[in-house]
Chains A and B, each alone.
Chain A
């Protein structure tokens, strides 16, 4: 049997093999191994690489049955990509796109099994096994659905990405641009110039590799669109805050937020029990509340999510375990619970931070870390003996105009002298109304 080796077969085999290897390797990335949505997308890509492999085999053996089977592989490819994107954004499998694909799949299978779906022709100097007619049109349509889904998701992810992962989001979007529009354009153009299918394959391969690698390295990209997590707070049974962590800016102070949690907890005592979990709808988000033996954990996010609820449950259990001794001894000092940052990293590391809005956003160091001349520090310490107040003033000092500290010291002395002078007066003048 003579094999129909040609450039298209070779490219198909290279791209498919490389794609399968990369997709399988990316599965073992510890950061993204257990992410369901990514798993669906990986399945989508694996089917796409198998599609290319069978495309090459159909050409190699000039086999019409293999060519039909190749076309039908677009069904699982598209279904998994669409489910992957939908699940990423909405944590659900269902979407209108999936309904359309399901309907079309039946038609695609029917058309594919009819005579005249495949034709063999000599093009670009070698024999090709082409899809023709309606089978070809539906095939192109299937491919287009996946790439459009990826494109719009990628675009929205890139636009909404926070500054800390903007670079990764840009690389990710460049990858998607290779797939759509570049890959898609060449895929459509191949109808007019056969060899352009090779360019399309290469474009899609480059794009897919970038796509897979970026997501494996930075899974935070998957959680830019579904929800924003604002804050988590842990308090003990007496209502004292023990730990507080922000992902994005909220204007709620620690005291107000803890007070709010206490109030909610009191109201919901009847529906809550130890180990219980409660979702409370707020005007602009959701509060996920988890009760355990010694603590209550509250997480504020833009909307509820199974993933978030699971993360809160696991975080709460681990917090109880990690700080068992402190909780037993009713330690209230928040600094004793700072190591909970590790638990945040363990359970919430995939959710992006949105506190920094721009690279140019001005920052300052808080009082404790601000270094000021010793003489000035001694002077200020005399005026502000309370440590907390002293640090607040130091934070303000760093933001003040240059000559401010000396003017303040002078003014303080003036007022001090004035008060003394006034208190020595016989008649108290400020006999207010």
Chain B
């Protein structure tokens, strides 16, 4: 089928095809909904080409994937992007994850740039799939429904040494501060750095009677157990 209007071979360089693209650009730049009806009506009015010819051009643009199906993102459609979906699932599985870990594990260099990861994270934030909290210098990502305190603790527990310290304190209730590094078999300065960090964040406290001993903040004791359980069941529920 050759339509009368297309005297030149059909292609993206054909003047009428170019003009239809320009009209589509114009509709989108005005933030109007671009659909077949709008594009057809406006192009028909301006270009004055026969119906079949115009539909042929629109069909060509769809086939060349210049016009694709889609509209402004909504909460329902934002996860249709497979990479974004993958990042979201990683955060669900690993609440309290930091950007650098996401970079290594959820979107490797071969799959996309850091910019792309930030793009998808911002999209997930914008549509309330995830939220971010600041823990020290770190921006931490967690599922939107998860409590911020829980996210903070989960982030802290992701650190191997922190995890060992908390487990030690959980088992022994109180431990002498200077013994901890031996008990967990880690470098002294690394352990001291973390103890101070945990003290600063109120995760652990100094024993009221004996300053050299530390214990888990009693206010958080139950919370610890609860958030660990919650995060497990939350993850299971979300991935079901």
- A residues with a Cβ closer than 8 A to B are 31, 163-164, 167, 245-246, 338-339, 341-342, 345, 349-350, 353, 355-356, 358-366, 368-371, 383-386, 389, 393, 395-396, 398-402, 404, 407-408, 411-412, 414-415, 418-419, 421-422, 425, 427, 429-433
How long is the Cα–Cα vector from A274 to B117 in the complex, in angstroms?
A: 47
B122 is an interface residue with CB less than 8 A from chain A: yes
**CB contact under 8 A between A401 and B72, given known A359-B36, A365-B24, A366-B65:** yes
- What separation, in Å, do the CA atoms of A408 and B125 have in the docked complex? 10
In the bound assembly, the distance between CA atoms of A364 and B1 in angstroms comes to 27
Judge whether B160 is part of the interface by a CB distance below 8 angstroms: yes
Majority secondary structure of chain B interface residues (helix, strand, loop or mixed): helix
Residues of B within 8 A of A383 (CB): 113, 115, 118
Q: Which 6 A-B residue pairs are closest in the complex by CB-CB distance?
A: A362-B71, A349-B1, A383-B115, A359-B37, A364-B70, A412-B118
Report the Cα distance A362→B197, complex, angstroms: 52
Chain A residues closer than 8 Å to B62, beta-carbon distance: 353, 355-356, 363
Question: Is the beta-carbon distance between A429 and B2 smaller than 8 angstroms?
Answer: no
In contact, A429 and B159 (Cβ under 8 angstroms): yes
Contacts of A358 in B (CB 8 A): 36
Q: How far is the CB of A222 from chain B (nearest CB, A)?
A: 14
Tell me the smallest distance from the CB of A418 to a CB of chain B, in Å.
6
- Please pick, from B29, B100, B136, the residue contacting A419 in the complex, using a CB distance under 8 A: B100
Q: Is residue B25 within 8 Å, beta carbon to beta carbon, of the partner chain?
A: yes
C-alpha gap A361/B34 in the complex (Å): 8
Q: Report how far A414 CA is from B137 CA in the complex, Å.
A: 11
Is B133 among interface residues, defined by CB-CB distance under 8 A? no
The one of B37, B72, B119 that contacts A360, using a Cβ cutoff of 8 Å: B37
**Are B34 and A363 in contact, with the CB atoms below 8 A?**
yes
Set of chain A residues within 8 Å of B59, measured between Cβ atoms: 164, 353, 355-356
Give the interface residue-count category, chain B.
35 or more
Closest Cβ–Cβ distance, residue A407 to chain B (whole Å): 6
CB pair B25 A370 closer than 8 Å: yes
Tell me the complex Cα distance, A371–B30, Å. Answer: 12
Once the chains are docked, how many angstroms separate the CA of A19 from the CA of B66?
45
Task: Encode B48-90 as 1/0 by CB contact (under 8 A) with A.
Answer: 0001000100111011111111111100000001000000000
* B178 part of interface (Cβ distance < 8 Å): no
Residues of A within 8 A of B197 (CB): 429
Complex: A163 Cα to B65 Cα, angstroms? 18
Q: Who on chain A is nearest to B6 by CB?
A: A345
Question: Would you give 16 A-B contacts (Cβ < 8 Å), ordered by A?
Answer: A341-B63, A345-B1, A355-B69, A359-B36, A363-B24, A363-B34, A363-B62, A400-B123, A407-B126, A411-B121, A415-B114, A418-B99, A418-B137, A419-B99, A432-B101, A432-B159
Interface pair A364/B190, CB less than 8 Å apart:
no
CB distance from B54 to the nearest CB of A (A): 11
Kindly state the separation between the CA atoms of A399 and B119 in the bound complex, as whole angstroms. 13
Q: Given A341-B60, A411-B122, is A362 in contact with B113 using a C-beta cutoff of 8 Å?
A: no
- Which single residue of chain B is at the shortest CB-CB distance from A217? B52
Q: Is B163 an interface residue (CB 8 A)?
A: yes
The answer, among B11, B67, B113, for a CB contact under 8 Å with A365, is: B67
If A371-B29, A411-B121 touch, does A363 touch B69 (CB 8 Å cutoff)? yes
For the complex, give the distance between the alpha carbons of A167 and B137 in Å: 62
Q: Is the CB of B112 within 8 A of A389?
A: yes
Given A353-B59, A432-B158, 8 additional A-B pairs, CB 8 A: A359-B35, A360-B35, A365-B34, A368-B66, A371-B29, A389-B112, A399-B73, A432-B160
